[in-house]
Amino acid sequence: MVAGSANPDREMGERGARNMLSVLGFFQSVAKPEMIGLTEEKWTETPKRFAEEIEKYKVALRVYFVWCQKPEGAQ
């Protein structure tokens, strides 16, 4: 899975950008600006700046999911 705006397919790039903004929104819902040394003003403007930058620089973040299950009887 690739998140970010760099996908050559326009629609997928837009979805990826929204995905990244959603992750940022979740992070901001569980963290506080002082936890990472930001002012309230910078914290509030971060989503707008991030959206502008991922459009300008075409960000891609590859995410790999590995799923496994422990066999029955294994310790």
Give tens-digit pLDDT for 6-37: 888 889 889 989 989 999 999 999 999 999 99
74 occurs within a structural domain: no
72 occurs within a structural domain: no
75 occurs within a structural domain: no
25, 17 contact by CB (below 8 A): no
Query: Bigger pLDDT: 63 or 13?
Result: 13
11 occurs within a structural domain: yes
Q: What is the largest CA-CA distance in the chain?
A: 54
53 occurs within a structural domain: yes
- Report field, pTM of the whole predicted structure over 0.85: no
69 occurs within a structural domain: no
24, 50 contact by CB (below 8 A): yes
Enumerate long-range contacts of 61-67, CB under 8 Å, 24 or more apart.
61/2, 61/3, 61/4, 61/20, 62/1, 62/2, 63/1, 63/2, 63/3, 64/1, 65/1
pLDDT exceeds 80 at position 2: no
Domain count, the chain: 1
Structural domain for 51, as ranges: 2-62
